[in-house]
Amino acid sequence: MAVALTMVQMKVAVLRHSMSGQRAGFVAIGAVTGLVLAGATIWLGLSGAEVLAATYAVWMLGWIFGPAFAGGGDETLRPEFFTLLGLPPRRLAAGLLVSAFVGVAPAISLLALVGLTVLGARQGLAAALVSLPALVLQLAVFVLLSRVAVALLGVALRSRVGAVGAGLANGLVLALLGQIWVVFVALGQSGGVPPVVGTVARYLPSGWGVAAVEAAASGDWGRTAAALAAMAVLVVLLLAAWAALLTRRAGSARTAPGGRAPMRATTASGAVLAKELRTWSRDLVRTHQLTFALAYGVFFAGAPLIIGIPVMLPLAGPIFVVMAAALSANLYGTDGTALWLTVMTPGAADVRGRQHAWLLTVAPIAVVLTVALTAVADGSWPAMLALLVALLGGGAGLVPLASVYALIPGTDPHRRGGNPLRSTEEDGAVTGMVYAVLALASLTAVPATVVAVLTGWPGVVLAAVTGWACYWWFGLLAERRLLARGPELLETMRTGRRPAVTVATGRPGKWTRYEALPRRERIIVGVCYSIGALPLFPQGVVPAIIKLNGGDTRAWFLAMYLPPGLQWPTIFFMIALGLAIYATGVIIPFRYKAGESQQNADEPAEVPAT
């Protein structure tokens, strides 16, 4: 107990001192999104046990596979920190487990599990009382499943087969979660949740709490005790498994086995190209990311086949390109302090070499996917080729550009811990960069794709022009930035601390950078950019398209549940609301003007060396 309480105090102290600057904004965004999802889950407690059990299965999958997308999950306290204390593995695991309940994600999940109490309260006092230990045990199961999954993934990333397998599994699950509307439509077509889905969801660990509450409501106390005991036993088994996996964590970097063929490059760009190609083939973290992007693209585009819609299949290649660009956007950050080699070698042509290596790694796979699936689905060749060409050029330009303009300090590859996915301390910043590059890369293909849809093959020509322009111009900007600010970027990589920025004042002026805004405004802007898409697209644009095409699919579209006379007004209101939220996020930076040059209040001031 003393070890657990000490670790809880340590985590609280770390979180208290780290909730500043950009990280606080990302935490606020995640909290707002999580509260919305938790509220929706509690509301589903009124809909019946089948729907609630299926919803908790989705929460469980999020806990298991979410860390693969978010850089390894929350590891504020790592096992490596306590190696020299000589704690037994089970005591260390128990202490880390207790500290894992401190944070935003566990609190939101606990709130979502209140749906068990809502379900039980509708069926009597006894069921409501049983729901209290059930939701605590259910949360412990979620947290431990997440920790064991991260530990297993770390073990898997020690071999090429494991890295590929983990990438395929993560890509499949997250793609299906991203296309959850397909499941809703399929359920709507079948008249609700099929009985088999509710039965399977109850047998999953995420449904044992629902089973306990239902049994208590019917007076079957034997089944109630069995369900609660099963969760308690599972917690003990998962804790033991996690303790065993903690002993296998190591601090050395892992690379895929490969030959030692010498580099025969004769130019600086060729040397960078050869080095990067070897990194893409030998670094198991990059292997995992590339496999994840490929699996996500294929499964995301193939998910609508569940309801008999094949039109998205040709998009597998373009989705793969966008996801690969987003996951590799912090290219220089993941290299660590090796950046000094570039800084100390003028004219090294580093940016162009990295662009060529990225294209040679991603383009062949994307071309094969797009051509094959377009032929299978009988898609539009001009539109698909224009989209692919434009995205390849945009991705090749944005990857180095985002990396040097928004570099996130990372861990040197040879110092990566037992969780290889955790290459940086700033998980929120990395997640924000991924989403930003996803959006920007998609925007680079909009002009050419629109022209291809309207005119046909001229759009492919325009895609070649815009793709080459993005590749050349963005690469040139990145190269100039690297040459001009190389020492500052290296200092950021070495210390993990960004240079001081001026704090903006409340006077109108030109556009103010996000990090120069006051903390409250940063949080507001971040929340606006995060939730603006919810009313605009899922509740506004998509139902408008459904109505224009004469469909009547309800799924989770609010307007489709209203009387016909209120559907279009609701759609217009949701579109206006989404645009207003985005406009708020854009207008706020114009209200602030850079004030006197001073250290950012959110960052600790450095003490000059004596």
464-493 confidence digits (pLDDT tens):
999 999 999 999 999 888 888 888 888 888
Q: Please return the burial class of 195, using the count of CB atoms within 10 Å of its CB with bins 0-12, 13-18 and 19+.
A: exposed
Do 284 and 183 lie in one domain? The reply is no
Q: Give the whole-angstrom CA distance, residue 138 versus residue 112.
A: 11
User: In this structure, are residues 478 and 404 in contact, taking their beta carbons and an 8 Å threshold?
Assistant: yes
Q: Give the whole-angstrom CA distance, residue 429 versus residue 281.
A: 26
**Is 515 domain-assigned?**
yes
Query: Taking Cα atoms as reference points, which of 334, 354, 490, 517 lies closest to residue 426?
Result: 334
**Is 141 domain-assigned?**
yes
Tokens of 528: 């606006």
Tokens of 450: 């629109």
Q: Name the percent of the chain in helix, strand, coil, to the closest 5.
A: 75, 0, 25
Instruction: Pinpoint the alpha helices (H) of 496-563.
Output: 519-531, 533-536, 542-548
pLDDT of residue 477: 92
Do 206 and 344 lie in one domain? The reply is no
**Is 279 domain-assigned?**
yes
Amino acid at 510: K
Do 402 and 532 lie in one domain? The reply is no
Share of the chain above pLDDT 70, in %: 79
The total number of structural domains in the chain stands at: 3
Q: List the chain residues with pLDDT less than 70.
A: 18-26, 29, 68-75, 83, 183-198, 248-263, 346-349, 414-429, 431-432, 496-516, 530, 553-556, 592-610
**Is 413 domain-assigned?**
yes
Do 352 and 417 lie in one domain? The reply is yes
Do 13 and 121 lie in one domain? The reply is yes
Do 468 and 534 lie in one domain? The reply is no
User: In this structure, are residues 77 and 10 in contact, taking their beta carbons and an 8 Å threshold?
Assistant: yes
Tokens of 115: 């749906």
Tokens of 599: 């250290």
pTM: 0.69
Amino acid at 75: E
pLDDT of residue 595: 43
Do 229 and 111 lie in one domain? The reply is yes
Which of residues 499, 525, 548 is at a domain's end? 499
Which of residues 499, 520, 543 is at a domain's end? 499
Range of the domain at 145: 2-246
Q: Is 267 left (phi over 0), alpha (psi -120 to 50) or beta?
A: beta
Tokens of 577: 């609301």
**Is 257 domain-assigned?**
no
pLDDT of residue 369: 93
Do 588 and 540 lie in one domain? The reply is yes
**Is 132 domain-assigned?**
yes
**Is 610 domain-assigned?**
no
Do 566 and 480 lie in one domain? The reply is no
**Is 252 domain-assigned?**
no
User: In this structure, are residues 127 and 210 in contact, taking their beta carbons and an 8 Å threshold?
Assistant: no
Query: Taking Cα atoms as reference points, which of 45, 205, 201 lies closest to residue 114?
Result: 45
Tokens of 360: 């040679």
Amino acid at 99: S
DSSP annotation of 205: G
According to DSSP, the residues that pair with 424 across neighbouring strands are: 410
Distances (CA, A) of 118 to 35, 105, 134, 218, 542: 17, 21, 13, 16, 32
Do 327 and 411 lie in one domain? The reply is yes
pLDDT of residue 196: 61
Which of residues 446, 471, 499 is at a domain's end? 499
pLDDT of residue 19: 65
- What is the SS3 assignment for 293? helix
Place of tokens 């593995």: 89
Do 400 and 275 lie in one domain? The reply is yes
pLDDT of residue 226: 92
Do 490 and 508 lie in one domain? The reply is no
